[in-house]
Chains A and B, each alone.
Chain A
């Protein structure tokens, strides 16, 4: 395994008296698919929020490609190529799908005059290609807010790809999606990983999905890291089963 792309070291975060993460350490290897599981309230989304800079952490260190990012703001981290999607889908509802895609281009090197550029040609082509990739090509001129929840989720995924991230953090990509759509989504996520070379870090409740996809899985419980390992080992781990069933 190569150098980890994300390294989380002893990260703690509490909200008032509630400890959401207590000294969590984990690392996401470059190029792979890493899973993050745990019962409700175990601090998975908090950890994601900490990584992307949504809130400051209390202690510990988070590094992206060896660079400390725990003090950076959301936009700065996003421009470094670390992107997240939301548990409740977030798209730009009053704009159509193509517009949603066009404004999702990477803003890494955007200068003042890039604000007034018009994206045409190649960029539009890439947007349409990615919309086709997630199966929304026929709906590209529809207002995004009028799409179904599952379609909005696909759009959000396509927008993330448009941004050319190096790492993509997905918060429950299959939650609320029609079961028949899930297989297609898994396949697309895998292709994003292999074809576009995007490292994936996924929170998932659907065990079938995560066991099927991830190379390594981390399990959180009560804000602490319970265990980690490859899917087969996690599945057999009695502590994981206990955490989910509430035996402790």
Chain B
């Protein structure tokens, strides 16, 4: 009851914050835009890591793939990609207003779709792995992708690609990408809220709790697992395409496939906020982003030490995360009931066995 009335309000509130933030804190528009990206990261990671119990360390692959596919599409529509990437450092190549937006729209959609298709391929072999092997296997894919792209001259290799320049003032550009990332994270949140309320949510939770049992019950486990990865990959691909255009310059190791930063942040944010919950990743992303911005500003040089400490503290002392902790503390607010501790079982079960309906 309580949470049912509370819920629509939270979404409206989030919408309000999202729209008002760049007007209230115009100096921080970019930082808040990145926060929305972080929320997309956390939410997509939680689909597999939290709800389905498959801890992936390679989700960044789909982010980078979306980014590169989008870049290649945007450029390829009007120029030869190989020529562009080799000439970009010496010549300024202009895109007209309509060329930019057509390319951007098409590129972003293609980025999302290609990532989703790649997920079908990736899923067909990584889901043979379980537990830590799944984590390492997926990490391998992300690392390999970074190395491959780094030596692929056609897409600029390690020196990257400069994307078409936004045809507008810097303020418009900021707001444009801010609202795109905000819309993406907000739509993703609403989509997942719906998704987790369907059989899909139940099925991936069942896979998390006992995959062998789920197989024994005839569940199409492989289909669910693959679809979960495809959904995560699609949204990550879109976010990659948008973020690539936001930064204006992409390269494989630090921007497209940053296995040690964004890739680890995804996991960390979800653990911090509470995995397997809808709002946990959102809360985790907000808290993490604030911590990160503060440490990066005031403890520069020590930021990775702080980050490492945070990882150790969460993993050792705070595994359930913020939302998980609140749910443990006040389960009834979330509609969860835990069986009361019953030291004596005999009287109740005796009633169960002999008198129908006399169980309680």
Listed in ascending order, the chain A residues whose CB lies under 8 Å from chain B are: 52, 74-75, 78-79, 83-84, 86, 90-96, 99-100, 102-104, 106-108, 110, 112, 114-119, 135-139, 141-143, 145-148, 150, 159, 163, 178, 180-185
State which residues 213-272 of B face A: CB under 8 Å: 213-221, 223-224, 227
Q: Which of B308-356 contact A (CB under 8 A)?
A: 335-339, 342, 345-346, 349-350, 352-354, 356
Contact with A118, one of B198, B276, B352 (Cβ below 8 angstroms):
B198
Known interface pairs A93-B209, A104-B217; A180-B223 also in contact (CB < 8 Å): no
Q: Specify the main secondary structure of chain B where it touches its partner.
A: helix
- Of listed B209, B212, B219, B337, residue having the most chain A CB within 10 A: B209
Known: A95-B206, A180-B346. Is A83-B217 also a contact (CB below 8 A)?
Answer: yes
Q: Once bound together, how far apart are the Cα atoms of A143 and B335, in whole Å?
A: 10
Return the CB mask of B265-306 against A: 1 if under 8 Å, else 0.
Answer: 000000000001000000000000000000000000000000
- Tell me which of A90, A115, A178 contacts B223 (CB under 8 A): A115
Question: What chain B residues lie within 8 Å of A184 (beta carbons)?
Answer: 352-354
For B342, what are the chain A residues with a Cβ–Cβ distance below 8 Å? 148
Query: Would you list the 8 A-B pairs with minimal beta carbon distance, nearest first?
Result: A78-B218, A184-B353, A92-B209, A146-B339, A103-B202, A90-B213, A79-B218, A107-B218
The answer to whether B199 and A78 touch across the interface, beta carbons within 8 angstroms, is no
CB distance B213 to A103 under 8 Å? no
What residues of chain A lie closer than 8 Å to B210, measured between beta carbons? 90-93
CB distance from B355 to the nearest CB of A (A): 10
List A contacts of B349 (CB < 8 A). Answer: 150, 178, 180-181
**Once bound together, how far apart are the Cα atoms of A90 and B210, in whole Å?**
7
Given contacts A93-B209, A142-B337, contact A118 B223 (CB under 8 A): no
Known: A178-B346, A181-B349. A107 touches B220 (CB 8 A): yes
A99 touches B360 (CB 8 A): no
Residue of A nearest to B202 (CB): A103
Query: Given A103-B205, A115-B203, 15 more contacts at CB 8 Å?
Result: A83-B216, A84-B216, A90-B212, A91-B210, A95-B205, A96-B336, A96-B337, A99-B205, A114-B199, A116-B198, A135-B352, A137-B359, A150-B345, A178-B349, A185-B353
List of B residues within 8 angstroms of A99 by Cβ: 202, 205
Q: How far is the CB of B119 from chain A (nearest CB, A)?
A: 16
A156–chain B nearest beta-carbon distance, Å: 9
Q: Which residue of B lies closest to A134 (CB)?
A: B352
Q: Distance in Å from the Cβ of B157 to the closest Cβ of chain A? A: 40
Q: How far is the CA of A104 from the CA of B339 in the complex (A)?
A: 22
When distances are taken between beta carbons in the complex, the residues of chain B under 8 Å from A92 are 205-206, 209-210, 213-214
Are B345 and A78 in contact (CB-based, < 8 A)?
Answer: no
**Chain B residues near A118 (CB-CB < 8 A):** 197-199
State which of B198, B223, B276, B338 has its C-beta within 8 Å of the C-beta of A112: B223
B174 adjacent to chain A (CB < 8 Å): no
Contact of B220 among A75, A117, A159, A163 (CB under 8 A): A75
Q: Chain B contacts of A159 at CB under 8 A? A: 217
* B337/A181 in contact, CB under 8 A: no
In B46-98, the 8 Å CB interface with A consists of none
Q: Does B186 count as interface, using CB distance less than 8 angstroms?
A: no
User: Given known contacts A86-B213, A163-B217, is B335 in contact with A180 (CB within 8 Å)?
Assistant: no
